[in-house]
Amino acid sequence: MPIIPFSVGDRLELKKPHPCGGRLFAVLRTGSDVRIRCILCGREVAVPRLKLEKSIKKVLSEEPETK
Ligand SMILES: [Zn+2]
């Protein structure tokens, strides 16, 4: 399984939506637990990094680079 790189400030689109219906989360802090905030309702959650990586659908970088 590939390691998904993301860092503070990135936004993550998760496969499983938050109870409020939002799928986009902002990364607030990384580590063995990653703190993310639901962009739609503003609630913060901490998720173990491994578990989070499995549920990431897409990483949206804050500053997209030209590829
Ligand atoms: Zn939410």
Distance 22 CA to ligand 1 centre (A): 5
pLDDT for the residue 3: 76
As a CATH number, domain 11-60 is 2.30.30
Distance 13 CA to ligand 1 centre (A): 12
Q: Is the pLDDT of residue 1 over 80?
A: no
- pTM of the predicted model as reported, rounded to 2 decimal places: 0.85
In contact, 21 and 3? CB cutoff 8 Å: no
Q: Would the CA dihedral through 2, 47, 29, 31 be positive or negative?
A: negative
Distance 9 CA to ligand 1 centre (A): 17
Helices then strands, each counted (H, E), the chain: 1, 5
Distance 67 CA to ligand 1 centre (A): 31
The pLDDT tens digits of the residues spanning 16-61 come to 999 999 999 999 999 999 999 999 999 999 999 999 999 999 999 8
pLDDT for the residue 64: 57
